[in-house]
Amino acid sequence: MRENKKSKFSISRSSVAKILLFVYDAFVVNFSYFLALWLRFDCQINTLIETAPEFIEAWLKFIPINTVFCLIIFSVFKLYRSIWTFASYREFFNVVYATIFTFVVHTVGITLFINISDMDINRMPYTYYIFGIILQFMFVLFVRFAYRFILLERSRRAVSRAKKSSRVMLVGAGSAGRMILHDMNMATDSTDKVVCLIDDNPHKVGRYIDNLCIVGNRYDIPQMVQKYDVDKIYITIPTISPADKKEILEICKETDCELKILPDVFKLEDGEIGKNRLVDVAIEDLLGREPITVDMGEIFAFLQDKTILVTGGGGSIGSELCRQIAAHNPRKLIIFDIYENNAYDIQQELRENYPELDLTVLIGSVRDSRKIFDVFARYKPQVVYHAAAHKHVPLMEHSPQEAIKNNVLGTYKTAFAAALNGCKRFVLISTDKAVNPTNIMGASKRLCEMIVQSFDKLIKEDKFSKMRPLYEHDDSEVEDRFVKGTDKINTEFVAVRFGNVLGSNGSVVPVFKKQIAKGGPVRVTHPDIIRYFMTIPEAVSLVLQAGTYAAGGEIFVLDMGAPVKIDTLARNLIRLSGLKPEVDIKIEYTGLRPGEKLYEERLMETEGLRTTPNKLINICKPTDFDADELFDNIEKLMHICYEEPDMVKDFVESIVPTYHPAGENGTTEKTKAYEEQIAAMAKA
């Protein structure tokens, strides 16, 4: 009972704060005008009392009226109901409006009061009204917002005590850098403290922004990191060119500081810039080349109002194909994939971003003849991007029959169904591992290239009626369904060949990042291994444009730029994480994996190149081979996969002249000398 009585008559902290504000406001709304009189008489109180006692008398007599009206007006504008801990612009304007109203009341009220009294004055001095209201506004506003500033400062100091603050260097003292600096200075939950700025503009060096000095240009970064004991470097230049970005990052990563960067301004969808927009430096930022551009008009004209099928549409390449196709107004987009989780993810993404898109997502395997034929017969796609494939080199070395079933037989069945159902263009996604392959995955993709070239050749020679479907099941009905309409086939078959794609499934970059996050070691197969790299959107854009150039039978080869040493890639990723290779994170060399080469090639010896309107897309000269013999061998290979899987590699070697399986050390005698030459070039 006592506790209940106590709580009944107790006063809350908010009530106490409200009472104190009442008392404070009652004092300052009157004291402000007294100070105005004091200022009017040169801050001499004796002069004021002796020469103008009537002003003091008028002010004293008006205090009760002024106090009552001010407190009522303040209450109307919620100055006693706001939570000043979270005071913002709304509360600020409430104080402004309340001040304006009290100024009107005070000016009119005291003037009328003087006129109806027996005093000898008609009005107060102008400075009384002007300075009085200014001082009142400052006093009323200060006490309310000072409470918030005190709490913010306490919070900032508490966070600083709880966590060790990081010393930050900002590279870029332009408008973006100033916005991020302001954002960091205002943040209460951040332990980052900017200690200096860098800018290449010589007119800015030595000058100050928010009391912080611009201490030098990009070449001074290592020296200033030492001088100011910098822990982190934030690059805040959203319009920086790729070449400048690469050079600055190369300088920064030698400092062992943690790096973050503001993305390209065009990647900031809402245009807002702040500390939360800084991202980790991506490895593609170190490529140092201009972004690959394509003629989107050609792609739009080619894809618009067409029914398009993407096999393997849930994979890294397939899903990006779907994204870019969806943006070009197809009549219908069909995603076909065996893995339902990936297919579901891209389905939800496209439905959210393109609600008007006519989208169908199907689960199935390209190895299933009846399923893939039903898809073509039902939806009649006009363009097919065939991205479905097994791509993992070491895994396929241990399961070669699965590489053949999925890559070779799956491509044959999909291409066959496309031809028989009126498809206009079939684009195979190939790989540079198909060139002089040393692994079964590369050999299988070379067979895929040979298949699409042979299909195109037989169609142009009007010999496609000789073709027969491939299937292991005994179903004569399938034969009848597949061979209908072979006299009306005009499908154009092409292949697009490119190298490794940054961020794709199986790429070394995410693997290295996981190893770094665990504290190492980072495992590299060989110190001299090199690869070509391109980003997923770049590769897919070129694939789409290559599809617009197709006339049938071509193998398009994408220019992947300069090769990159995987060892250098790993060391750069470690440095970009603010760590030191071989000090914080060890690097282990595990040796080449089964079927792996030190280098990848774009062309075979018998192939040459001719250019296209896009200089990054070339067409290689096809090699000659007997299409009829190839299809006979593929049918034999199909039976071997199911009946004698141990014979797969030997048989593939007999039908792919450029395939030379690697030994235990991941290489062959034929390619060893060339690999040594490549390794020497990489070291240089």
- pLDDT tens figures, 32-44: 998 988 888 878 8
> Omega of the bond prior to 563 within 30 degrees of 0, cis?
no
**Quick check: 533 and 500 in contact, CB under 8 A?**
yes
**Quick check: 295 and 546 in contact, CB under 8 A?**
no
- pLDDT tens figures, 233-242: 998 888 888 7
| Dihedral angle sign, alpha carbons of residues 550, 551, 552, 554 | negative
pLDDT at 41: 84
> Which are the contacts of 13, defined by CB distance < 8 A and separation ≥ 6?
none
DSSP 3-state assignment of 171?
strand
Widest pairwise Cα distance in the chain: 124
Instruction: Indicate the domain borders of the chain.
Output: 13-159, 166-281, 302-506+528-566+608-683
CA distance 89 to 73: 19
pLDDT at 147: 67
pLDDT at 621: 73
Higher pLDDT, 357 or 183: 357
> Which are the contacts of 645, defined by CB distance < 8 A and separation ≥ 6?
400, 401
Higher pLDDT, 190 or 68: 68
pLDDT at 356: 93
Q: Which amino acid is at 285?
A: D
CA distance 137 to 73: 14
CA atoms within 13 A on the CB side of 678: 20
Contacts 24+ apart (CB under 8 A), 641-645: 641/401, 641/404, 641/405, 641/409, 642/401, 642/472, 645/400, 645/401
The rounded radius of gyration (Å) of the Cα atoms in the chain is 38
- DSSP 8-class letter at 331: S
Average pLDDT value for residue range 5-19? 60
pLDDT at 674: 44
Average pLDDT value for residue range 184-209? 83
Report the share of the chain in percent with pLDDT over 90: 26
Choose, from 260, 391, 413, 433, the residue flagged as catalytic: 433
With 0-12 / 13-18 / 19 or more C-beta atoms within 10 angstroms meaning exposed / middle / buried, residue 26 is middle
Average pLDDT value for residue range 524-548? 81
- DSSP 8-class letter at 593: P
- Would the pLDDT of 648 be above 50? yes
- pLDDT tens figures, 316-355: 899 999 999 999 899 999 999 999 999 999 999 999 999 9
- pLDDT tens figures, 468-518: 777 665 544 445 555 555 557 889 999 988 877 776 666 777 788 888 888
Which of 498, 491, 613 lies closest to 553 in space, CA to CA? 491
CATH architecture entry for 166-281:
3-Layer(aba) Sandwich (3.40)
- pLDDT tens figures, 108-134: 888 887 776 666 677 888 888 899 999
* CATH ID of 302-506+528-566+608-683, from 3.40.50.720, 3.30.565.10, 3.30.70.1150, 3.40.1390.30: 3.40.50.720
CA distance 452 to 494: 6
C-alpha dihedral (451, 452, 458, 464), degrees to nearest 10 = 80
**Whether the domain at 166-281 and the domain at 302-506+528-566+608-683 fall into the same CATH topology:** yes
- pLDDT tens figures, 281-300: 776 666 655 666 677 778 88
Q: Would you list the DSSP string of 479-521?
A: HHHHTTTGGG---EEEEEEE-EEETSTT-HHHHHHHHHHTT-P
Q: Would you list the DSSP string of 99-156?
A: HHHHHHHHHHHHHHHHHHSS-S-SS--HHHHHHHHHHHHHHHHHHHHHHHHHHHHHHH
CA distance 377 to 400: 31
Query: Other C-beta atoms within 10 Å of 243: how many?
Result: 11
Ranked by mean pLDDT, the top range of 401-405, 525-529, 570-574 is 401-405
User: What does pLDDT average to over the chain?
Assistant: 81
pLDDT at 75: 86
- pLDDT tens figures, 155-173: 666 555 455 578 899 998 8
Least confident of 216-220, 254-258, 406-410: 254-258
> Which are the contacts of 657, defined by CB distance < 8 A and separation ≥ 6?
none
- pLDDT tens figures, 590-616: 887 776 777 666 555 555 567 777 777
- Single pTM value for the model: 0.65
Average pLDDT value for residue range 376-395? 93
Report the share of the chain in percent with pLDDT over 70: 81
Higher pLDDT, 222 or 603: 222
Average pLDDT value for residue range 525-554? 80
- pLDDT tens figures, 347-377: 999 999 999 999 999 999 999 988 999 999 9
Our answer to whether residue 193 is catalytic in this structure is no
